[in-house]
Amino acid sequence: MEAVTYYDDGKPIKNHIEIGLDFLKPKTDCNDCQVDPCPDDPIYSGDEYVCFNCEVNQVQEKHPEARYTDSDDWIVQRGDLR
C-alpha cells in the first residue's frame, strides 16, 4: 500500500490510513440528512445524504480516535482499523 501523508491543520500526519465511510446512514429524525425515499427502487438510490453533524457522530462512535484531515478525509492510526 502506498504511503500517504495526511494533514491536519497544516501539520503532516504519518502512519495513518483513511476510513471507508460505507457505514454512514442518514438519520430519519435529522432535518439535514436526506433518507432514501424508496430503498428498494434503484432510481432513488443516490438521493441519500448524511449531513456533516451526523457523519461526525457516526464516525466517532465507530472510530473514537479518528481524525478529520484538511483534505476532508477521516483517518486512523495504521493498525487501529478493524
- Residues 8, 16: Cα–Cα separation, whole Å: 12
Q: CB under 5 A: which stretch of 11-19, 43-51, 59-67, 71-79 binds Zn ion? A: 43-51
Beta carbon of residue 49, minimum distance to Zn ion (angstroms, whole number): 8
Sign of the torsion angle spanned by Cα atoms 14, 64, 54, 19: positive
Residue nearer to Zn ion on the CB measure, 5 or 61: 61
Q: Does 66 bind Zn ion (CB under 5 A)?
A: no
> Which is nearer to Zn ion, 17 or 54 (by Cβ)?
54
**Distance in angstroms (rounded) separating the CA atoms of residues 80 and 25:** 22
For the chain, how far is it from start to end, CA to CA, in angstroms?
Answer: 17
Binding site for Zn ion (CB under 5 A): 27, 30, 32-33, 51, 54
